């Protein structure tokens, strides 16, 4: 099976506000995105992974005022915390953009503003509307629930001022055609239908600036009008091309945006309107190619309530990693949490999953395999003997799992990829009991040559399967993959093409396994986080 790509692949997270510290909802998004980026690198695609922070929002200003510090100080401090997720979550992003201080971003935002204005799609008018600072958007009264924002449960503020507007209505039909035909693919289908329903009700022009006074003097000034600040969403959305140096038509912009069909955004369902409607309309106006795919994930919720910094129920991913480890966190986010639907989080369930799936299923399999090689073959991988129907079945299961993992990751579905890997893990744990190496070893001691040969075949099947599991985990749980390589006697860094490492039989006879070490020590008691 050839999984080599040799294409270009560009993928981004949304850029979160920095009015508070990172929570598990953003950890979900950035870990998903990291897994896709790692997968495409392993396919040998030229891959670029962008993340960053949205620092020009009014809510950041208000958070700084509440703390009694400058906005610049707050965004600097909290942006560092988001950048720090690289270590805690084992992230591989290529660039981290900060919208308040990156000169490429400011230059790019100005360039796209001027391009849209030259098209006749920006005009100025007096406006009155209900504004939620938490969402950084206006609401119609019909969208409110008992007069409150449906997301933040707060009463929006009535704003009356003169602003610049973008002619979104001009692009209604074109957007509908692009999304309905999947030329701009919105995933999953339910979110695509949600966007199409919204467009079919009619698109209204939207405000793309705020008065300098209401913005508290924070943000990017409107070109040629310093009395106005660019609306945070018009500003923030342009980061996806500004980071590549759209302003100067730079080589990264040419390679990963203009000349590359694989442009993917990963966002939460609460900001789908901005990415599925506002952003492509802005690009159409400016004459810039559109993204290829918009992947929309659900919320991580606590007691069926959305995790939100505004609601004060955020779960700290850094604390979870400190207690359970990086790959335990990544595993839960990639396998237990749906890639598209909401997921309820509680620590008791997290710990049950950790013990059952990681400590018991995977950890015990690796430990038993290495321990039996130590006990029965002095730690040396044997020459494979004749295979029985059991070994043939395991090889067929492994081949099917390999194909499923590749197909699932091609479709941006890490949950199905991990489900398949755990199917193989569970089958191998059953295979240990069915093949009973301890019985074969006892017979071998009594001079049974056939039992000795069968024990060789059984042990090779187990250790080669464990090696293959490690290879399959590389884009998903890279540190666990590294530990598995070391356990089965390979070098720490993978060698050769990933497609080659996915083939059966790559572990050579005579390879010495390492002393068994627990991958995921079992949790004996619950701990508060």
The per-residue pLDDT for 527 is 52
Are the beta carbons of 263 and 291 closer than 8 angstroms? yes
| Domain edges within the chain | 8-344, 355-501
How far apart CA 472 and CA 478 sit, in angstroms, is: 10
Give 392's contacts (C-beta < 8 A, 6+ positions apart). none
Q: Above 80 in pLDDT, residue 174?
A: yes
For domain 8-344, give the CATH number.
3.40.50.620
Q: Above 80 in pLDDT, residue 157?
A: no
Name which of 54-58, 255-259, 395-399, 494-498 the model is least confident about. Answer: 494-498
The per-residue pLDDT for 310 is 62
The per-residue pLDDT for 526 is 53
The mean pLDDT value for 252-267 works out to: 97
The per-residue pLDDT for 483 is 97
- Per-residue pLDDT tens over the stretch 22-53: 999 999 999 999 999 999 999 999 999 999 99
The mean pLDDT value for 388-417 works out to: 96
The mean pLDDT value for 53-78 works out to: 95
Q: What percent of the chain has pLDDT over 70?
A: 97
CA angle 267, 272, 275 (to 5 degrees): 80
Q: Above 80 in pLDDT, residue 64?
A: yes
Q: Above 60 in pLDDT, residue 2?
A: no
How far apart CA 24 and CA 13 sit, in angstroms, is: 14
Name which of 183-197, 242-256, 289-303 the model is least confident about. Answer: 289-303
| Closest to 26 in 3D by CA, of 53, 44, 2 | 53
Average pLDDT over all residues of the chain: 93
List the structure tokens of 492: 């720490």
The per-residue pLDDT for 228 is 96
- Per-residue pLDDT tens over the stretch 511-528: 999 999 999 999 986 554
What's the 3-state SS for 434-492? HHCHHHHHHHHHCCCHHHHHHHHHHHHHHHHHHHHHHHHCCCCCHHHHHHHHHHCCCCC
The per-residue pLDDT for 151 is 75
**Model pTM score:** 0.93
The mean pLDDT value for 108-127 works out to: 96
How far apart CA 194 and CA 172 sit, in angstroms, is: 15
Q: Determine if the peptide bond prior to 214 is cis (ω within 30°).
A: no
Q: How far is CA 272 from CA 193, 403, 520, in A?
A: 12, 31, 37
For domain 355-501, give the CATH number.
1.10.730.10
């Amino acid at each position: 099976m050839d999984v080599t790509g040799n294409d270009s692949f560009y993928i981004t997270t949304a850029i979160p506000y920095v009015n508070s510290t990172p929570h598990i909802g953003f950890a979900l998004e950035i870990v998903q995105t990291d897994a896709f980026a790692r997968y495409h690198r392993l396919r040998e695609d030229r891959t670029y992974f962008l993340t960053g922070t949205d620092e020009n929002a009014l809510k950041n200003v208000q958070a700084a005022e509440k703390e009694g510090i400058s906005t610049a100080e707050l965004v600097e401090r909290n942006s560092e915390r988001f950048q720090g997720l690289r270590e805690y979550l084992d992230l591989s992003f290529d660039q981290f953009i900060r919208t308040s201080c990156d000169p490429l971003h400011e230059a790019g935002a100005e360039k796209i503003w001027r391009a849209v204005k030259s098209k006749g799609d920006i005009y100025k008018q007096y406006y009155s509307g209900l504004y939620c600072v938490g969402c950084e958007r206006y609401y119609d009264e019909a969208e409110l629930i008992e007069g409150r924002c449906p997301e933040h449960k707060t009463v929006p503020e009535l704003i009356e001022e003169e602003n610049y507007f973008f002619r979104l209505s001009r692009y209604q039909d074109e957007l509908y055609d692009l999304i309905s035909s999947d030329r701009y693919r919105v995933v999953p289908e339910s979110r695509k239908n949600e966007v199409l329903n919204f467009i079919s009700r009619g698109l209204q022009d939207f405000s793309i600036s705020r008065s300098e006074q209401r913005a508290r003097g924070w943000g990017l000034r409107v070109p040629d009008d310093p009395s106005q600040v660019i609306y945070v969403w018009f500003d923030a959305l342009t980061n996806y091309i500004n980071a590549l140096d759209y302003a100067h038509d730079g080589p990264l912009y040419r390679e990963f945006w203009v000349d590359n069909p694989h442009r993917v955004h990963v966002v939460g369902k609460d900001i789908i309107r901005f990415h599925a409607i506002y952003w492509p309309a802005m690009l159409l106006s400016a004459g810039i190619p559109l993204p290829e795919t918009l992947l929309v994930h659900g919320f991580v919720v606590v007691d069926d309530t959305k995790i939100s910094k505004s609601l004060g129920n955020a779960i700290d991913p850094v604390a979870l990693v400190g207690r359970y480890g990086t790959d335990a966190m990544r595993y839960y986010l990639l396998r237990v949490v749906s890639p598209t639907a909401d997921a309820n989080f509680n620590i008791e369930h997290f710990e049950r999953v950790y013990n059952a799936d990681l400590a018991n299923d995977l950890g015990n399999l690796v430990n038993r395999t290495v321990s039996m090689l130590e006990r029965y073959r002095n730690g040396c991988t044997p020459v494979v003997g004749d295979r029985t129907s059991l070994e043939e079945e395991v090889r067929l299961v492994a081949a099917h799992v390999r194909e499923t993992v590749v197909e699932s990751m091609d479709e941006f579905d890490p949950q199905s990829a991990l489900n398949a890997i755990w199917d193989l893990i569970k089958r191998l744990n059953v295979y240990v009991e069915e093949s009973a190496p301890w019985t074969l070893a006892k017979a071998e001691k009594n001079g049974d040559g056939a039992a000795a040969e069968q024990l060789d075949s059984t042990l090779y099947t187990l250790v080669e399967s464990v090696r293959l599991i490690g290879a399959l985990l590389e884009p998903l749980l890279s540190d666990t993959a590294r530990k598995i390589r070391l356990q089965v006697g390979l070098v720490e860094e993978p060698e050769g093409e990933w497609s080659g490492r996915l083939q059966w039989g790559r572990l050579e006879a005579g390879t010495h396994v390492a002393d068994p070490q627990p991958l995921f020590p079992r949790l004996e008691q619950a701990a508060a986080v």
